[in-house]
Chain A
């Protein structure tokens, strides 16, 4: 997932927003038809592979629905949400757009998205894993469809681990290292590495701070109670997660510039050879295969009370202002059919949200042997985890996590202070 900080480029385009409204908006041209006829505007960003799969899905949708068409408006990620926000405010948003799960709540919770409840076929929810379906709920109703997910595993340099005497890595989710075993692996690596290298880097920069929550979930903690309003982070699990992750910096297990606000992303440190292990999503596989010059493989992130992971990826949503809710729902159903999702995920190195595809597995086009690692790891995400990230206040909570954790990682805030800061901040954010 690219990070919001980079989205500042959108500010450069802000002056051109009026033009963008006309040029890129993809005005809804619907005539209020509730049949399959009409034209949907669909705004998204995407890699070449993602866009190719989406175009193919759109062609198939148009072939299957006489009179229906979809205008795909592909924009750079950096412009995506300032444009969408401006379009929503101006009253001419696209019918459908793509949104990360951690941003979904801020639209759904502010009445900007289409409640799909009356428009979806019976039993539609059953096609998805419970954690995926939980990620698109707001107030108990679905406001989008989980199009794909992604989750982080450990990518490692095979030779570096061998040099440190680490001959085997976990082969299944159940065999994942415990936190203590993982710390031990990291310490052994540190001893065998030159002084200018560190054992690993974690991908929590910028909005990726939501991936810190995996440690909290592994300790069987929560950051919000079930009402999604009351802070729950000030707990034993919260203390364990803050203490353990802060020890990465204290003990030199990660580079100092692996902190939250750093402009150096975890993957950059891995590609630069600064760290032999990195926590990364499946989307990185094509880049790693093309760029990383040494032998590399993947294994499972550590577990504590349980295994857990970040529910990354994106939902597809319809806007509340669409004039063609039925057609929107039909399109969203179509792109989450097994065939469409399989093609999209395999080509883009992303994970499916359909229960049947998770069950039977998919094969990435690049490094297919790594698919099971990511698929198994994605099963460690529980609905209660992804449901919290769908909070309408997640955008504000992200800032609270960024400031609070950075003060613990690089500053001198102790665990107790950090938890109090996080808890107070979350409470203020959810008011």
Chain B
């Protein structure tokens, strides 16, 4: 065996445990889900092969389209907002702010809390009879918001809780990026007469483009996979106003036991995630080539 071949074998040997785990716990179930998506099955016994029937049903299912629209809207709202707030906080905490170490910890803390616990806090805050926000509005004589029974308000409550949960992570990535921005660039900009906004717009933001790119992809993927916050806070209601693809797949698979159909929803979700990932790869390659 040549040295090259030996090295290759050693490489495979090192990669083998990970590949095995990926194969058994990711690839195999994914393949299984694709097979199930071509069946009509309630989960017990063998399913009946129905070809693309489940996918045809998806096209004609208004709840699926509502869930898709909600998921897309959620992604479009959460991704830029989480990044913008994360960047703002990172800039604040990168400056000479008193107690910034403590503040950084406080902002990152939500990351350590599970989505379920976050959502349960959301329930306490947004309960429209006795929640924290309702009590505050009452005490201050402000108009009440129907956080649970008005579709757009319920959607907003889910977005707000997600932001609370996710902003810390965005801030952390930006904060790390800011440490790498050369101070000479700011000095040069100042000498050229750039004001604070211009320095942010033309120095900081371009210098953080790698972090922004990473966060866009990650936020989109996380948003498409949102489940726990929606499930606990709103149950997809009122009137499906907050139903997203994963909660719909869960309801279909585990409540009504239409598991073939639920698998089809899952496969669509996988396809969307793969497209986003492919776009990311392509864009990254192009950037590397230009650099």
- Of A12, A111, A259, A264, most buried by chain B (CB within 10 Å of CB) is A264
Chain B residues contacting A88 (CB-CB under 8 Å) are: 44
With A106-B257, A263-B234, A403-B240 as contacts: A89 and B129 at CB distance below 8 Å: no
| Known contacts A5-B231, A259-B149; is-contact A398 B255 (Cβ 8 Å) | yes
Cα-based distance from A385 to B70 in the complex (angstroms): 38
Given contacts A4-B255, A256-B148, are A110 and B42 in contact (CB under 8 A)?
Answer: yes
Give which listed residue, B42, B44, B238, B258, contacts A410 with CB less than 8 A. Answer: B238
Decide if the interface of chain A is mainly helix, strand, loop or mixed: helix
Is A64 part of the binding interface, using a Cβ–Cβ cutoff of 8 Å?
no
> Which residues of the other chain, A, contact B44 by a CB distance below 8 angstroms?
85, 88-89, 110-112
- List which B29-55 residues lie within 8 A (CB) of chain A: 42-45
Chain A residues with CB under 8 A of B146: 256-257
What's the least CB distance linking A70 to chain B, in Å?
Answer: 25
Q: Separation in Å of the B160 CB from the closest CB of chain A?
A: 15
Alpha-carbon gap, A318 to B39, bound state (A): 28
Docked complex Cα distance between A256 and B146 (Å): 8
Let me know if B65 is at the binding interface, CB within 8 A.
no
Q: Are A257 and B148 within 8 A (Cβ)?
A: yes
Q: Beta-carbon contacts of A378-417 to B below 8 Å, as 1s and 0s?
A: 0000000000000000011011000100110011000000
- Whether the pair A263, B43 counts as a contact (CB closer than 8 A) is no
When distances are taken between beta carbons in the complex, the residues of chain B under 8 Å from A206 are 235
Bound-complex Cα distance A23 to B182 (A): 55
Fill in one digit per residue for B195-237: 1 if any A CB lies within 8 Å of its CB, else 0.
0000000000000000000000000000000011001111111
- Across the interface, A272 reaches (CB within 8 A) one of B123, B129, B232, B233, namely B129
Is the C-beta of A73 less than 8 angstroms from some C-beta in chain B?
no
Are A399 and B256 in contact (CB-based, < 8 A)? yes
A407 to B63, alpha carbons, bound, how many Å? 13
Q: Say whether A362 faces chain B, with CB atoms less than 8 Å apart.
A: no
| Most chain B CB within a 10 A radius of its CB, from A89, A111, A261, A274 | A261
Interface membership of B12, Cβ < 8 A: no
Q: Does A269 make an interface contact (CB < 8 A)?
A: yes
- B251 near A: Cβ within 8 Å? yes
Residue of A whose beta carbon sits closest to that of B235: A261
Q: Which B82-126 residues have C-beta < 8 A from chain A?
A: 116, 123
CA distance A399 to B256 in the complex (A): 7
A261 nearest CB neighbor, chain B only:
B237
By the criterion CB–CB under 8 Å, are B148 and A110 in contact?
A: no
Please indicate which of the listed interface residues B123, B232, B239, B251 has the most CB atoms of chain A within 10 Å of its own CB: B239
B138 within 8 A of A: yes
Q: Which residues of B contact A255 (CB under 8 A)?
A: 128-129
Separation of A203 and B205 alpha carbons in the complex (Å): 52
* CB of B102 to closest CB in A, whole Å: 31
Q: How many Å from the CB of A193 to the closest CB on chain B?
A: 13
- Closest-by-CB residue of A relative to B63 is A403
Residue of A nearest to B130 (CB): A272
- Which of chain B's residues have a CB closer than 8 A to the CB of A274? 129-130
Residues of chain B within 8 A (CB-CB) of A398 are 255-256
Chain B neighbourhood of A11, CB < 8 A: 227, 250
B136: min CB distance to chain A, Å: 13
Q: Is A82 an interface residue (CB 8 A)?
A: yes
- A396 interface neighbour in B149, B239, B258, Cβ under 8 Å: B258
Q: Is the CB of A269 within 8 A of B45?
A: no
Q: State which of B228, B237, B240, B258 has its C-beta within 8 Å of the C-beta of A262.
A: B237
User: Would you call B281 an interface residue if the criterion is a C-beta within 8 Å of the partner chain's C-beta atoms?
Assistant: no
Chain B's closest residue to A196 (CB) is B138
| A260 cross-chain contacts in B, Cβ below 8 A | 237
B9 within 8 A of A: no
Measured between beta carbons, the chain A residues less than 8 angstroms from B233 are 263
For the complex formed, measure the closest distance between the CB of A313 and the CB atoms of chain B, giving whole angstroms: 20
Contacting A411 at CB < 8 Å: which of B234, B239, B251?
A: B239
By CB atoms of chain A within 10 A, which of B42, B251, B255 has the most?
Answer: B255
CB within 8 Å for A8 and B238 given contacts A89-B44, A196-B138, A398-B255 = no
Contact between B42 and A261 (Cβ–Cβ < 8 Å)?
A: no
Query: Within 8 Å of chain B (Cβ to Cβ): is A9?
Result: yes
Cα of A257 to Cα of B127 in the assembled complex, Å: 8
Chain A 8-26 interface mask (CB, 8 Å, partner B; 1/0): 1111100000000000000
B129 touches A12 (CB 8 A): no
B148 engages A8 (CB within 8 Å): no
Q: Is the CB of A406 within 8 A of B250?
A: no
**Contacting residue for B254 out of A12, A82, A256, A407, CB 8 A:** A82
B246 to A, closest residue via Cβ: A11
B148 contacts A396, CB within 8 Å?
A: no
The distance in angstroms between the C-alpha atoms of A262 and B233, with both chains bound, is: 8
The 5 A-B residue pairs whose C-beta atoms are closest, nearest first, are: A261-B237, A257-B148, A256-B149, A274-B129, A272-B130
Q: List 13 A-B contacts (CB under 8 A).
A: A7-B254, A8-B232, A89-B43, A110-B42, A196-B138, A255-B128, A256-B148, A263-B232, A264-B148, A274-B129, A398-B255, A406-B238, A406-B239
A interface, CB within 8 angstroms of B: 4-5, 7-12, 81-82, 85, 88-89, 106, 110-112, 196, 206, 255-257, 259-264, 269, 272-274, 395-396, 398-399, 403, 406-407, 410-411, 429
Which B residues are closer than 8 A to A by beta carbons?
42-45, 63, 116, 123, 127-130, 138, 146, 148-149, 227-228, 231-240, 250-251, 254-258
Known: A8-B227, A263-B232. 15 other contacts (CB 8 A): A5-B235, A7-B254, A8-B231, A11-B227, A88-B44, A110-B44, A196-B138, A257-B148, A261-B237, A263-B148, A273-B130, A274-B129, A410-B239, A411-B239, A429-B256
